[in-house]
Every structure is written in C-alpha cells, then in structure tokens.
C-alpha cells in the first residue's frame, strides 16, 4: 500500500479525523489527505512548519527508547484541534482530529490499523514521482561521491528514499 492510500484509509477510520499524512524524516510531507469538509486551521507555511517540527520531535524523542521502550506517539492538544504523530517505519504518520474527539480511542484505532497493514506499506516514492531534474541532480550528486545523507538533505528527501531511488536508477552507493 502506498502512502497516498494509507492517508485516505486513516481518514476513513473515524469521522473526526481532519487530516492524515506521511512525513519523511526530513520534515517533507510525502503524501496526505484532508477530509473534504475540514477547513485548514493553519496557513500553508504554518502547516509546513508544523509537519517539519513533528518529524523532528519524533526523531528526538526516539533517543529515550532504550530506557522507556518504543515511542508510540506524540500528541499536541489545542483548543480547536489535536495533532498526533506516530512513527511508522522511517517516516512519521501525522493526523489531526477535532478537539472534542476522544483522542486515546482514535489514536489506538489508528495504531492498530497501521500495525495490521505495516507489512504491506511501501512508503518510498517510485522514480516516476521524482521529476527528471531532481533525478539528474540525484545521479550527479551520488556519482560525485557525496554521501547519501548529504544528497538527501540537499534534495529534501529521506535517506531511504535516496537509497531506493539510487537502486532503481542502478547507481551504486
């Protein structure tokens, strides 16, 4: 299952879920879906910042996993909306729900669903999702010997996405 479909399926789990999306570790929104009747509460720029911070905070909180166990979610409760970030593979699933929602129930339902289909998830974009200009830049950077981590940062991609694209494009790392 691709990230776009996962986002839509998360929306279908509960009528109070407003938005669901997959964010790469870099903070880039890879795929997302918004409920048709749900107006965005943030400006486009604020939405981007929120997603980027969510990915960063999930990554930061993972450092305590050795002592506390696996990170299951990070939750932000505001007056009008609740935001939830859940680590999924090397990405972060983010979703928002109306504030009056019983968030523990919704989060549990989402986590159970993700766990049940995790083996079917394909969260890395195929080469046809990345435009030709970005593919050429990827090829040039990798062939020049720059590390895949730096390439990912330069092209605003997840490291695993860079590795997967390099493999599809038959570039040795």
Q: What is the pLDDT along the chain (173 residues), one digit of tens a residue?
A: 888 899 999 999 999 999 999 998 888 888 899 999 988 888 889 999 999 999 999 999 999 999 999 999 999 999 999 999 999 988 999 999 998 888 999 999 999 999 999 888 877 655 555 778 888 888 899 899 888 888 888 887 777 778 878 887 877 65
Structure tokens belonging to residue 21: 């999306």
Structure tokens belonging to residue 5: 């479909």
What is the rounded radius of gyration, in angstroms, for the C-alpha atoms of the chain? 17
CA angle 52, 44, 36 (to 5 degrees): 105
Instruction: Answer yes or no: are the C-beta atoms of 109 and 28 closer than 8 Å.
Output: no
Instruction: Answer yes or no: are the C-beta atoms of 56 and 85 closer than 8 Å.
Output: no
| Alpha-carbon gap, residue 88 to 71, rounded angstroms | 10
Phi-psi map region of 145: left, alpha, beta (phi>0 left; psi -120 to 50 alpha) = left
Instruction: Answer yes or no: are the C-beta atoms of 95 and 12 closer than 8 Å.
Output: no
Structure tokens belonging to residue 40: 């965005």
Burial of residue 129 (CB within 10 Å: 0-12, 13-18, 19+) is middle
Structure tokens belonging to residue 158: 């997840």
Structure tokens belonging to residue 11: 């929306």
Whole-Å CA distances, 152 to 25, 43, 143: 10, 26, 14
Instruction: Answer yes or no: are the C-beta atoms of 88 and 94 closer than 8 Å.
Output: no
**Can you give the pLDDT at residue 79?**
94
Instruction: Answer yes or no: are the C-beta atoms of 41 and 80 closer than 8 Å.
Output: yes
**Can you give the pLDDT at residue 128?**
55
**Can you give the pLDDT at residue 159?**
78
């Amino acid at each position: 299952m691709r990230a776009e479909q996962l986002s839509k399926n998360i929306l279908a789990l509960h009528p109070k879920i407003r938005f669901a999306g997959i964010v790469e570790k870099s903070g880039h929104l890879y795929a997302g879906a918004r409920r048709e009747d749900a107006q965005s509460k943030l400006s486009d720029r604020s939405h981007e910042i929120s997603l980027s911070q969510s990915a960063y905070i999930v990554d930061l909180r993972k450092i305590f996993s050795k002592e506390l166990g696996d990170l299951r979610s990070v939750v932000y409760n505001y007056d009008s909306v609740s935001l939830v970030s859940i680590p999924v593979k090397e990405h972060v699933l983010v979703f928002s729900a109306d504030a009056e929602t019983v968030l523990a129930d919704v989060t549990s339902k989402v986590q159970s669903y993700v766990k049940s289909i995790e083996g079917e998830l394909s969260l890395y974009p195929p080469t046809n999702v990345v435009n030709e200009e970005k593919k050429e830049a990827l090829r040039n950077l990798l062939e020049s010997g720059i590390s895949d981590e730096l390439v990912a940062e330069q092209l605003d991609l997840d490291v695993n996405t860079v590795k997967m694209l390099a493999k599809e494009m038959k570039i040795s790392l």
